Structure 1
């Protein structure tokens, strides 16, 4: 789920750079997705066993 959201935001961000659509909103959402991704990496899933 998280990877899907990040992928969609990345595609929208690239399209925004090319077509200049979306403005700052896409950049804010991309930064939020990257922050969530980093938090997910740092905390990670605890391996039991």
Structure 2
């Protein structure tokens, strides 16, 4: 998912350089949404791993 966010970020930058502002804004919005979804999934999986981990003692 993070790769997709980076992909859309690169598309946004390239489109902005060539003057396609509509495509650039849309790609940046998609990249932002995917990035925050990635962060949310990371935190959820981290909490699950921490709560279900068994201590080795």
TM-score class normalised by the smaller sequence: 0.5 to 0.7
Structure ranking higher in helix proportion: 2
Identify unmatched segments of 5+ residues in structure 2. none
| Alignment length (residue pairs) | 47
Which structure 1 residue ranges, 4+ long, deviate > 4 Å from structure 2?
Answer: none
Aligned mates of 1:26, 1:17 — CA distance in 2: 5
RMSD (Å), alpha carbons: 2.0
Tell me which structure has the larger Cα radius of gyration: 2
